[in-house]
């Protein structure tokens, strides 16, 4: 197919970030949530620079001229990306300074300047500076033969221009001197101030600038400017070396701290002299210098948006509810033995998944636990449970992926701790990332050994499970259990994976081909004059083979609804190509993360959950799983969830053939429908109904 049939991947991602930024503009969103969305767009852009801009830069440096599926060369992509980012950053600061900040002020949330401080506030800041800030921060002289320090990635710093020392004024050297103060990660970015009403605060950089002479007594400070560096995170992982992956991952983490600078952010008021000095020291081009009209690093405002208080300016709490399918008073294994259990987080609590591992660790009948871990929380209850399981004599095997980007250091630490207490730890597969989410519990029961499994679309991470929308399946299905063991053992034993699973399919061998076969089966039904329909929910769609197959299905008359949160390279609604394909993206209070696939299949629905997005990296370079949902009730539940996202007319943005997105304008008599709100309310009602039923039942004691 023509290359013009695909949107550019990098530009599509930036349009996703724009949809997040649109929520910061959205007046129907609570004010501090708007500030949070703005902070998210900045953090997202930080990672985009480190990873995607970094990758394009490396391609250009290597003289790679191969065009992307969109038809753009790496040089053309980078130019388009830089232009789009420039426009987006301008919009971010306009949103903060001209939309959000004035309304914050109306609600008595005030950022004070030095001139606005009263005597009490000045005394308080002086005390904070002398006892805390001055004790932590250290100025470093730079320039004039002094090597510029290796500053940490995306950490705020202050660059200071000093006048020549008085005793040097008669010498030939009358040039200005320079110093840098790295702010590090330990100090708060915002300091609250005593106030008669509301909340007053001052950013750390403003406080340091107030007392800058305390760092340079007797010196003339000519200028100071906050700045931040962004370094390339695209460091090659050398997996096939004698030292082993763990040693090499430690080297990767170190290499990122020394990587080339991709972006220098400074305030727009900075002088050309100071910019030229920093430009030469950190070795950036003019195009890589970003002058901003407000605070450097808008992502820091997440701290301000998340602070306690002003609850009326935040979303109404939606605490996860207990699934009625998982009675708290029953052993979880007994509940799973009765039926498959499907959970949809964070509407339904992630607690049963944590319980699954915790109960396995303590249950005397459990003999083994096998689990993959990709991104884990800082104080993971699941990891603690695995450690207890080892202490209790269980055979514990953990595949802890060391190549999970930006989580390598934490995973490396946890891997070493698990190994130290006797767990069998596998550091992933050479040449591939293990992204599949599976936990297997082997239990000795009166009827023989039984395998219980958990499959998920999201990470085993209790923290993100409260923020990300994901699906979980708990089952003791014999075929799923056998497949899970075969999948896990093929990784652990460095052996050939099974050619034919009973139920599962896995990447990188057959997942793509299985998806194509499933779509083609719907095509045959459509050509035979039967109803044919596909619904897919994934985070990204960039794989051209799958896109081409969807185009063919559309041309055959298959009705296709795609809910793609982020990157989508498929062009929907193009006559003769994709007029039967509709693409939406939902940005709401929870991050959409679940991967769910539905095919009408002649009225006998086929439904799957998966760990994989529809991207070449997932299908060719990762160990992923496609899991069929065999229980009819669980299938109906997932189809209902997909239908809810299809019907969303409030937070869904629709992709047009020209690559733009827009939200639907509701008709006069059209009722708003918000999928996330509906799903939460349904989960809450279901739980309350069961709780009410239990309160009306009387159970006698038995002796």
Q: Which residues are catalytic?
A: 435
Structure tokens at 140: 């470093």
Percentages helix, strand, coil for the chain (3-state, rounded to 5) are 40, 20, 35
Strand 366-373 and strand 395-400: the pairing is parallel
Coil/strand/helix, residue 599: strand
Residue 665 neighbours by CB under 8 Å, 6+ apart: none
| Phi, psi torsion values for 441, nearest 5 degrees | -115, 125
Q: Residue 648: exposed, middle, or buried by beta-carbon count in 10 A (0-12, 13-18, 19+)?
A: buried
Distance (Å) of CA 455 to CA 300, 340, 394, 467, 683: 35, 11, 21, 19, 21
Q: What are the DSSP calls for 386-430, one per residue?
A: HHHHHHTT-EEEEEE-TTSTT-HHHHHHHHHHHHHTT-EEE--BT
Q: Residue 359: exposed, middle, or buried by beta-carbon count in 10 A (0-12, 13-18, 19+)?
A: middle
Q: Is 68 in contact with 77 (CB distance < 8 Å)?
A: yes
Structure tokens at 587: 């940005």
Q: Is 680 in contact with 318 (CB distance < 8 Å)?
A: yes
Order of strands across the sheet with 177-182? Answer: 140-142, 177-182, 157-162, 221-231, 261-267, 289-292
Q: Count other C-beta atoms under 10 Å from residue 263's C-beta.
A: 22
Of 1, 4, 2, the residue nearest 658 (C-alpha) = 4
Residue 401 to residue 412: CA distance in whole angstroms = 9
- The size of the chain, in residues, is 703
List alpha helices for 612-698, DSSP H.
616-620, 632-647, 675-695
Where on the phi/psi map is residue 695: left (φ > 0), alpha (ψ -120 to 50), or beta?
A: alpha
Of 448, 452, 460, 320, the residue nearest 385 (C-alpha) = 460
Rg of the chain over all Cα atoms, to the nearest angstrom: 28
Q: How many CA atoms lie within 13 A of 72 on its CB side?
A: 18
Residue 435 to residue 593: CA distance in whole angstroms = 14
Of 204, 44, 228, the residue nearest 152 (C-alpha) = 228
């Amino acid at each position: 197919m023509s290359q013009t049939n695909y949107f550019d991947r990098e530009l599509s991602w930036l349009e996703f970030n724009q949809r997040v930024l649109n929520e910061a503009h959205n007046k129907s969103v609570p004010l501090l949530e708007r500030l949070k969305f703005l902070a998210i767009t900045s953090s997202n852009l930080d990672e985009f620079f480190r990873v995607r801009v970094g990758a394009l830069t490396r391609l250009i440096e290597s003289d790679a001229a191969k065009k992307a599926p969109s038809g753009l060369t790496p040089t053309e992509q980078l130019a388009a990306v830089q232009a789009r980012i420039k426009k987006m950053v301008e919009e971010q600061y306009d949103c903060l300074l001209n939309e959000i900040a004035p309304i914050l002020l109306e609600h008595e949330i005030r950022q004070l300047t030095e001139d606005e401080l009263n005597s009490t506030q000045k005394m308080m800041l002086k005390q904070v500076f002398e006892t805390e800030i001055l004790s932590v921060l250290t100025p470093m002289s730079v320039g004039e033969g002094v090597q510029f320090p290796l500053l940490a990635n995306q950490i705020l710093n202050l660059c200071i221009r000093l006048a020549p020392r008085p005793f040097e004024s008669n010498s030939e050297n009358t040039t200005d001197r320079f110093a840098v103060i790295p702010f590090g990660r330990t100090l708060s970015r915002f300091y609250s101030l005593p106030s008669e009403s509301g909340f007053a605060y001052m950013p750390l950089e403003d406080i340091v600038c107030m007392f800058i002479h305390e760092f340079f007594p007797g010196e003339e400070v000519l200028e100071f400017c906050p700045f931040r560096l962004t370094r390339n995170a695209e460091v090659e992982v050398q997996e096939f070396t004698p030292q082993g992956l763990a040693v090499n991952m430690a080297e990767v983490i170190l290499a990122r701290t020394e990587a080339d600078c991709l972006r220098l952010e400074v305030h727009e008021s900075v002088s050309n002299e100071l910019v030229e000095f920093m430009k030469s020291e950190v070795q950036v081009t003019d195009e890589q210098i970003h002058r901003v009209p407000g605070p450097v690093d808008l992502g820091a405002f997440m701290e301000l948006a998340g602070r306690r208080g002003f609850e009326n300016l935040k979303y109404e709490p939606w605490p996860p509810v207990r699934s009625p399918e998982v009675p708290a008073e029953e052993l979880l294994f007994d509940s799973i033995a009765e039926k498959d259990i499907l959970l949809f987080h964070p509407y339904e609590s992630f607690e049963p998944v944590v319980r699954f591992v915790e109960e396995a660790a303590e249950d005397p009948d459990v003999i083994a636990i096998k689990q993959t871990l990709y991104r884990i929380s800082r104080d993971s209850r699941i990891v603690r449970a695995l450690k207890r399981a080892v202490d209790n004599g269980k055979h514990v095997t953990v595949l802890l992926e060391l190549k999970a980007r930006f989580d390598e250091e934490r995973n490396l630490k946890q891997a070493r701790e698990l190994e130290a207490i006797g767990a069998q730890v596998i550091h992933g597969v050479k040449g591939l990332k293990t992204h599949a989410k599976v936990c297997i519990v082997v239990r000795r029961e009166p009827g023989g050994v039984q395998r219980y499994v958990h499959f998920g679309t999201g990470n085993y991470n209790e923290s993100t499970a409260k923020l990300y929308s994901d699906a979980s399946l708990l089952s003791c299905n014999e075929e799923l259990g056998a497949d899970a063991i075969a999948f896990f053992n093929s990784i652990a034993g460095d052996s050939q994976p099974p050619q034919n699973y009973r139920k599962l399919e896995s990447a990188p061998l057959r997942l793509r081909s299985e998806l194509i076969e499933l779509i083609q089966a719907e095509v045959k039904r459509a050509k035979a004059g039967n109803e044919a329909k596909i619904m897919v929910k994934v985070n990204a769609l960039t794989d051209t083979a799958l896109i081409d197959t969807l185009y063919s299905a559309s041309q055959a008359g298959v009705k296709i609804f795609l809910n793609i949160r982020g990157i989508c390279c498929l062009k929907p609604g193009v006559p003769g190509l994709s007029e039967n394909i509709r693409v939406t993206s939902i940005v709401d209070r929870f991050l959409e993360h679940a991967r769910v696939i539905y095919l009408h299949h002649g009225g006998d629905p086929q439904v799957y959950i998966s760990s994989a997005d529809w991207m070449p990296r997932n299908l060719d370079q990762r160990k992923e799983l496609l899991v069929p949902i065999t229980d009819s009730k669980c299938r109906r539940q997932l189809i209902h969830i997909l239908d809810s996202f299809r019907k969303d007319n409030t937070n869904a943005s629709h992709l047009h053939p020209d690559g733009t997105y827009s939200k639907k304008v509701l008709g006069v008599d059209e009722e708003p429908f918000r999928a996330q709100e509906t799903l939460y309310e349904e989960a809450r009602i279901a739980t309350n109904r069961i709780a009410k039923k239990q309160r009306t039942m009387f159970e006698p004691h038995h002796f």
